[in-house]
């Protein structure tokens, strides 16, 4: 049993070393237009919510 575990550990180590040596470039994907629209709409929704909370309590504080 211990021998099997040792060979498993060694095989994992060798695979990790091989992956480190390959150094394939990481290709960063750009956001799609639908994702960009979703991000903008979330930010807009948060700003609207914040503004509405301030508007519900006039004279207390300003929108920052």
Q: Hey, where are the domains in the chain?
A: 25-64
CA 27 to CA 21: how far, in whole Å?
17
Under 8 Å CB-to-CB from 61, ≥6 apart: which residues?
54
CA 9 to CA 15: how far, in whole Å?
10
> What tens digit of pLDDT does each residue of 38-58 get?
999 999 999 999 999 888 887
pTM above 0.85, yes or no: no
Find out whether 51 and 64 touch, Cβ atoms under 8 Å: no
The encoded tokens of residue 15 equal 């695979």
pLDDT over 70 for what percent of the chain? 80
Beta-carbon neighbour count of residue 60 at 10 Å? 8
């Amino acid at each position: 049993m211990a021998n099997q575990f040792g060979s498993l550990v060694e095989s994992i180590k060798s695979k990790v070393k091989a992956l480190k040596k390959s150094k394939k470039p990481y290709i960063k994907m750009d956001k799609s237009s639908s994702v960009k629209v979703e991000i903008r709409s979330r930010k807009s929704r948060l700003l609207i919510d914040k503004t509405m909370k301030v508007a519900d309590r006039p004279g207390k504080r300003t929108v920052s």
